Structure 1
Amino acid sequence: MLARVSAALLGVALFAGTACAQETTIKFTLGWKTQGSDAAFFYAKDNGFFKEEGLNVVIDQGEGSGATVTRIMSGAYDAGFGDVNAIIQNASTKPQDAPVMVYMIWNQPPFAIVTKKTSGINTIKDFEGRTLGGAQGTPTTRLLPVFASKNKLEGEKIKISNMAPNLQEPMLIKGDIDAALVFNITSYFNLVLNRQDPDKDYKWFSFGDYGLDLYSNGMMVSRKLLASNPKAVAGLVRAVNKAVIAIAKDQNAGMKAAVNYDNLINAEVEKRRLQFSFDKLIVSPEMKEIGVGDVKDDRMARAIGIIVEGYQLARAPAPSEIFSREFLPPRAERELVYTAN
């Protein structure tokens, strides 16, 4: 009798061990501190989407959307939310180490120049002879020469004042600079938090409207994970896709998950940020045509060319080195309908 009980217990233990072994842990880094625009990742976790795919996804805050790439390349993280343009930069010199984007989320670029409506800057030509505040190393600042060249501006007449990112809006508000080189989804809400009205009192010039038709942030994975566990990558993409589709219809549910992850966030502001991400960065004619998560190869090739020029890269990576649609769910499952609520 004792032998049969022992055997049964051993069987249960072996089964439990097998079940645990089947669950894959993925270390995932966000692009920055907790924000409403990250809600899909929290929603997927809270609603068991990752667990359904046999995944234990551990989500950590980030240090910048470019830093997502270096965090993954270091081996500290398996996947994350970050800037595809940082992948392009690294893939140019370290193609074997750079991560691969597997689910494009921000179909439109957030790179923009913001100025007060009272500044007298009404067209991009008016940037000549003005001082723009830029954070050194950020894509918006680095790509300004390309922006100027493509729009036939006299770049030498545009002065750049280098500053920390957190000083850009305060100095713009005070009038110490004429305009700031920013990420719109960050700067817009920095202005809100500084009791400004970014729609009524500020003018925005998006790089995407002036010849720099770039892709931006999405979900990327390490080459190691791609090679060792493609099943986990496919599951990760399916889970996040389901979450993105869900919160497009119900932002309150997305924000509930975000607050569950970090109850110190300003839920009212972050809900607006989540909706801003859909309005300005996710929903576009291209996204409606090809579905959320995918890209157009010809546009990606042009975007790579812009980054190669702007960063003076020695080699232009092929689009297939930067983005893989191998793990995307069928087009019908990536039909995103956004309703602000």
Structure 2
Amino acid sequence: MKRLTRTVTTVALATALALVGGCSSDKSEDSKGDGKLEKVTYLTSFGNFGRDAYAWVAKEKGFFKEAGFDVDIKSGQGTGGNIGLVVSGKADFTPVDLTGALLQVGKGEAKDFVAVAAIQQRTMAAIFSTEGKGIATPKDLEGKKVADTAGSVVRLLFPTYARLAGVDASKVQWPNGEASALMGMLGSGAVDGIGQFVVGKPTVEAVTKKKAVMLPYSDVMTDLYGNVLITSSKLAKEKPDMVKRFSEALLKGLDYSLANPAEAGDMLKKNEPTANPQSAAAELQLMEAFVRSAGSGAKAGTLDSQRVARCIALLQGAGSIPAGLTPEQIVDFNLTPKA
């Protein structure tokens, strides 16, 4: 089975900052046990699709409350933007693509955050098109328009993907698009493709009313993790117990969502009226193989330092980041779930 890997401009980041401003500065001290709930702001990875429904499930099912948290869930815009919001203290936790995070840290574009749990054991980044647009192989992307948010991991990884897939990256245009607008842009014919996760296939087909064509990045880049949960280095250092409790509650929501995808889809719809519960459930069903990763035998949520090192080596070998980056610079292995 082929292994199947996702960020914002300064303006977009400023907008996102305004949306979640003031969320973290007023947090009380860790108060589990005294009856108070600690306020936490969480950003989804990218919009509010089925792949992110597990956060709403953790809230609706009371998993966050049981762990001592009052969680405000906001819509994320991708790896780069989400990292900036966590580092600035405007959000406390968010899932970001590990490879995209490695690219930013390796290039000196981000720092002061750590990964504390894996959401997906395998990458899900891909480029989507639909039948009739003349895209069937990576080489077909040349001369085409592929829309995505300015800093998404699909976009960040594209030069590396293109180099390994034999594509002239300079011949591919990347118009900007908001997370919520990408599928509509593809459906209207405004662009030839969009950056998306492989689990987005049901939603792409539901929105465009056409059969999806998918180019998974993992076809040429193997052994990459997908999304990981991050927090600021400051919060990880000052409140390690709080970080662990939040991670456990979120992973509990993830596990429940995978076991009950239809219910999770309904919970997403309850909190995000524009969501399609059927498509959300289908996304979760597709995502299960990436979260549990039965082939690797890895426990959900765990991160392996040797695998992270191989991810780094792949990016260094492709010339995407300079030498010197280590797994410990981006993952706090003392806070990750144990295998």
What band does the TM-score fall into relative to the shorter chain?
0.7 to 0.9
Aligned residue in 2 for 1:258: 268
1:195 and 2:209 correspond: yes
1:25 and 2:35 correspond: no
Aligned residue in 2 for 1:3: none
User: What is the number of equivalent residue pairs in this alignment?
Assistant: 306
What one-letter code is carried by the residue in structure 2 that aligns with 1:268? Answer: Q
* Change over 3 Å in CA distance of 1:123–1:193 after alignment to 2: closer
Cα distance in 2 for partners of 1:54, 1:19 equals 9
What one-letter code is carried by the residue in structure 1 that aligns with 2:172? Answer: I
Residue by residue over 1:194-248, the C-alpha shift from the partner in whole angstroms, topping out at 9 and shown as x without a partner, is: 21232xxxx3221112135422212111111111111111111221222222222
What one-letter code is carried by the residue in structure 1 that aligns with 2:291? Answer: I
Please point out which of 137, 141, 146 is paired with 1:133. Answer: 146
Given that 1:28 and 1:80 are in contact with CA atoms closer than 8 Å, whether structure 2 keeps it comes out as yes
Q: CA deviation at 1:60?
A: 1.8
Matched residue SS, 1:25: strand
1:241 and 2:256 correspond: no
1:165 and 2:177 correspond: yes
Cα distance in 2 for partners of 1:18, 1:238 equals 17
Cα distance in 2 for partners of 1:94, 1:177 equals 32
1:324 and 2:339 correspond: no
Residue by residue over 1:238-273, the C-alpha shift from the partner in whole angstroms, topping out at 9 and shown as x without a partner, is: 212222222221113323432343344222222222
| TM-score of the aligned structures, taking structure 1 as reference length | 0.75
Given that 2:186 and 2:193 are in contact with CA atoms closer than 8 Å, whether structure 1 keeps it comes out as yes
| TM-score of the aligned structures, taking structure 2 as reference length | 0.75
* Change over 3 Å in CA distance of 1:243–1:181 after alignment to 2: closer
Aligned residue in 1 for 2:88: 74
Q: CA deviation at 1:312?
A: 4.0
Given that 1:101 and 1:218 are in contact with CA atoms closer than 8 Å, whether structure 2 keeps it comes out as yes
Structure number, greater radius of gyration: 1
Q: CA deviation at 1:293?
A: 0.8
Unmatched segments (≥5 aa) in structure 2: 1-30
Cα distance in 1 for partners of 2:279, 2:220 equals 29
Aligned residue in 1 for 2:56: 42
Q: CA deviation at 1:74?
A: 0.9
Aligned residue in 1 for 2:8: none
Aligned residue in 2 for 1:4: none
Q: Which structure's residues are more often helix, by fraction? A: 1
Aligned residue in 1 for 2:156: 142
* Change over 3 Å in CA distance of 1:81–1:138 after alignment to 2: closer
| Alignment RMSD | 3.4
* Change over 3 Å in CA distance of 1:188–1:142 after alignment to 2: farther
* Change over 3 Å in CA distance of 1:207–1:316 after alignment to 2: farther
* Change over 3 Å in CA distance of 1:269–1:229 after alignment to 2: same
Cα distance in 1 for partners of 2:208, 2:318 equals 32
Aligned residue in 2 for 1:297: 305
Percent of aligned positions with the same letter in both sequences? Answer: 20
Aligned residue in 2 for 1:113: 127
* Change over 3 Å in CA distance of 1:180–1:47 after alignment to 2: closer
Cα distance in 1 for partners of 2:309, 2:163 equals 19
